[in-house]
A and B are shown apart, each in its own frame.
Chain A
Amino acid sequence: MIQLKVNGAEQSFDGDPEMPLLWYLRDVLALTGSKFGCGIGLCGACTVHVNGQATRSCVTAMRDTAGKEVTTVEGLEKNGLHPVQKAWMQINVPQCGYCQSGQIMQAAALLNSKKKPSDHEIDEAMSGNICRCGTYQRIRAAIKAAAGEMA
């Protein structure tokens, strides 16, 4: 039995410990904000926070989540919108939107560790997150806007 916290709530899991966290979130808990994009940690659509760190849930086995705190896009902000989400709306980032949960979780983790990231730092932190619609320049702008908001 694996015990973990998801968005603040205690959960226990007694299925296949090799099952990636992504499928537990999506298929078992019905938290579908985290997306399946590649299944091998190459696109970032599945990004969640595990103990505050941006983590690819599609390659994180349930056995490695024991005792951890998992935050998904649904739990990023308890009241209203997180500054990153607000900035995403202000800059009108999403097109299809499918990758944006992962982008937002990655950006939120970046801003937790770097208050005012440079272009280079943003590009480095976000380079694991693919957006096929091509919203990258808005993502960069939104991260800067959110950094201003959070400062």
Chain B
Amino acid sequence: MSAIENASRRRFLTGGIIAAGALVLGVRYYSRFSSGDTLPHDTNADHATLHPNVYLGIDPDGTVWIVASRSEMGTTSRTTLPLVVADELDADWKRVKIEQAIGDKRYGDQNTDGSHSIRSFYDAMREAGATARFMLIQAAAQQWGVPAAECETDLHVVVHRSTNRKAGYGELASAAAKLPVPKREELKFKAKSAWRYVGKGEVSYDLEALVTGKAIYGMDARVDGMVYASVEHPPVLGGKVKSYDDKEALKVAGVRQTVPIDPYQPPPAFQPLGGIAVIADNTWAAIQGRKKLNISWDNGANETYDSDAYKKELRETAHKPGKVVRNIGDADAVFAKAVKVYEADYYVPLLAHATMEPMVALAEFKDGKVTAWAPTQNPQAVQDIVSKELGIAKEDVICHVTLLGGGFGRKSKPDYVAEAAVLSKKVGRPVKVVWTREDDIKFDYYNAVASMYMKAALGADGKPTAWLQRSVFPPIPSIFDVNAVYGDPNHLQQGWTDIPYDLPNLRIENGPAKAHVRIGWLRSVANIYHAFGIQCFTDELAHAAGRDPVDYLLDVIGKPRTIDFKGVEYPNYGAPYDAYPWETGRLRHVTEMVAEKSGWGKRKHGKGAGVGIAAHRSFLTYVATVVEVEVNDQGEVRIPRVDTVLDAGLVVNPEATRAQFEGAAVFGTSIVRTGEITATKGAINQSNFQDYPVARITEAPYQTNVYIVDSEAPPAGIGEPGVPPFVAAFCNAIYAATGKRVRDLPITKLGLS
């Protein structure tokens, strides 16, 4: 185990890396994030007396420093991972101080996406806590001259019961720091019955700051001497400035200068989009100056992109044979002879993230180094792109991570941070780039538009005897390789190649689609459209077969088994298959449980009301959701109630988990009701919440009930898995209430009103 070493004796030598930028932190650097913060590479944990690894330090006053190395965007990972450390350390949570890590590879992966913070770091956090606890016990045992095996811990103290001796963690820190760091095999982990925090949970460490306006987001970062920038980007992806006139812009009070930013060299990846930046003394002046710019654009090749025509293309492609990504039996042979064959096309448009905090970043280039303060899900990606853009070493990019005003995957892509760094170099001052909402909507990395063609033959019992599904969507790898047109295994696995049904004949295909906008990860990603296609088609088949949708769903899932992915490229979200097998029994269980909890089949629904169900596994978590819908004579849709059951293995923070699934239902509501980004001549048509509406309190589910399965399985994803089944269940409920099938999202096209 090289990850755990006694770093208290191996100070992280920062040397010349201490950027001057970090020393001018200005008036209000995060008082709760760190204190002092004069050495940007060091944390208080690094400087603590006992410091067995990068995540943890203990001071003689008993303060426990825990480093949050992953970003906080509302999922509570900044609290929940440190809770695991504190539990295994047997520490008093009230004496824990959390500090946010900068981007640094010593923390391992910091890209807070893919719902894997707990799954990937649970063991490391336990180990960090257990290591310090082991050393504290050893130190106490040595002082008392008793065997360590006779000592135990009890909330921040080591105790030797038979002699009634006690010593606080703070008192023991110095002595413990002199001891060797134990090997993992020597560690003794707490028994589950002794867990204080894991499985019980805690509210956010930042809760009070969040309700008092004191929490610092990227939007709130300030340093002395900074200027503000607003950037006019090329309206079409890949466009360039032909010429521009900034005379009027420069007349706006507070505007200092304009700065051109070079267009990116394809592929776009995380590079700035290019355009003209207006630099000003405040945000308002920068935005006003920008409105006065007169720019002539060369729109480039993507000017041909029109989302209506593109939709037709996708559908046509979905009707042609594609690349086979999974096959069982011979579906075509069955279709050729089948009496009952059903077909349907499903469509989900481009979706924008619309985080409440638009893209924003503050960066200072000074003496060949960059210090950035950014609401980023991926500070190491910030280091990468900024170092490339500025031609400096990655180690010379210091990225402080602020709180994020929403992320949903958008803030894994640090184009906006690179923009701030590029501008700071050109301007010679710290620059804060503030995107407007319009910038955010028009220059997103959108969730892929997708067309899905579904076909099934039903036997005499109504069960599918053959199943074909074909998806077409511009893939995320297109941002890294402009020629990428096929779905990659990482996204085909998301609810598509892993269809959990027990089908004798199954063929899964994928067709090509070229991207004309930047495609990126959005909460739940490809699971959104895949679950929509499969779970809504299943509901259609249930009705065609005259069956109850829950019974039918359980029937097609079949008997509990572990899916065999032999011959299929199935990455399993990066998790080992033996630890996280795809178990259909768990999907059955959440389905049965949600039927029971929701009173499926027992509650009466009046005219214009109905319920729908869907079940889906994503990010290794099994979820089933029942949505109740009411549609009045005006076609207005209400969601009085949602019931959702999840099996995410060990759940560290149930309260935060319930909140995530409540939120997922609202996120899914936005997708179904109004989520749609379109383009004309390559430019995005939507701009703000009037034409890209998201669910408000009046449209969101009135009540979402979340039930967590008590599971012995290892921890799985929480942030994303709630969205896909909600979307499908909502659409199935609309059918139950109105008799109208939702095959195209959003439902604005359905003609309910």
Contact = CB atoms under 8 A, between A and B. Distances in A.
Interface of A: 15-16, 19-20, 23, 26-28, 30-40, 42-43, 45, 72-74, 81, 85, 88-89, 92-101, 104, 122-124, 126-140
6 closest A-B pairs by CB:
A33-B213, A134-B666, A98-B405, A96-B74, A95-B74, A97-B210
6 contacts: A16-B288, A32-B219, A39-B437, A95-B75, A101-B213, A137-B702
B222 A30 contact: yes
Interface string B400-441: 000111111000000000000000000000000010110000
Given A27-B283, A39-B437, A85 B212 contact: yes
Given A38-B688, A96-B72, A126-B697, 15 more contacts: A15-B254, A16-B288, A39-B287, A40-B437, A40-B690, A73-B213, A89-B207, A92-B207, A93-B211, A94-B204, A95-B663, A96-B73, A96-B407, A97-B74, A130-B689
B517 interface: no
Contacts of A127: 696-698
B210 to A, nearest CB: 4
B215 interface: yes
B665 interface: yes
B695 interface: yes
B406 A92 contact: no
Interface of B: 27-28, 72-76, 203-204, 206-208, 210-217, 219-220, 222, 228, 253-254, 282-285, 287-288, 354-358, 403-408, 434, 436-437, 655, 659-660, 662-667, 669, 688-690, 694-698, 700-704
A16, A85, A94, A138 interface centre (most CB from chain B within 10 Å):
A94
B283 A137 contact: no
B659 A97 contact: no
Among A27, A93, A96, A128: residue with most chain B CB under 10 A: A96
B436 A39 contact: yes
Nearest to B669: A134
Contact of B282 (A27, A93, A96, A99): A27
A134 B210 CA distance: 16
Among B74, B76, B701, B702: residue with most chain A CB under 10 A: B74
Contacts of B288: 16
Given A16-B284, A134-B667, A38 B689 contact: yes
B669 to A, nearest CB: 8
A140 B405 contact: no
B68 to A, nearest CB: 15
A135 B662 contact: yes
A23 B212 contact: no
A137 B206 contact: no
A96 B664 CA distance: 13
Given A40-B688, A42-B689, A134-B664, A33 B214 contact: yes
Contacts of A72: 213
A88 B207 CA distance: 9
A104 B207 CA distance: 14
A72 B667 CA distance: 28
A34 B213 contact: yes
Contact of B659 (A40, A74, A100, A135): A135
A44 to B, nearest CB: 9
